[in-house]
């Protein structure tokens, strides 16, 4: 299924073919310990079940200041 993932750098949604959040994080090289995951506006864990056309955001938890 196709999942819309918000890309922080380009500030645009990119479509990714995947079945799990873990699969997407591996494709995008995102460490799951370093992000929180927002699915369709709601906070979820990496084990949340995905549906076709779901919208995902990975928000970095790293602060530097």
| Cβ contacts of 45 within 8 Å, gap of 6 or more | 37
Least gap, CB of 29 to another protein (angstroms): 12
Relative to beta strand 2-7, strand 55-60 is parallel
Answer for which of 7, 17, 26, 34 binds another protein (CB under 8 A) is 34
Answer for which of 12, 19, 40, 45 binds another protein (CB under 8 A) is 45
CA 34, CA 60: separation in Å to the nearest integer? 6
Residue with smaller CB distance to another protein, 53 or 60: 60
Residue with smaller CB distance to another protein, 16 or 32: 32
| Cβ contacts of 8 within 8 Å, gap of 6 or more | 58, 60
For residues 1-30, which are near another protein according to CB under 8 A? none
């Amino acid at each position: 299924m196709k999942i819309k993932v918000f890309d922080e750098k380009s500030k645009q949604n990119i479509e990714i073919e995947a079945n799990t959040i873990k699969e997407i994080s591996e494709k995008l090289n995102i460490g799951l310990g370093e992000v929180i995951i927002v699915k369709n506006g709601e906070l979820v864990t990496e084990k949340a079940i995905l549906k076709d056309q779901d919208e995902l955001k990975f928000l970095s938890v790293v602060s530097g200041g």
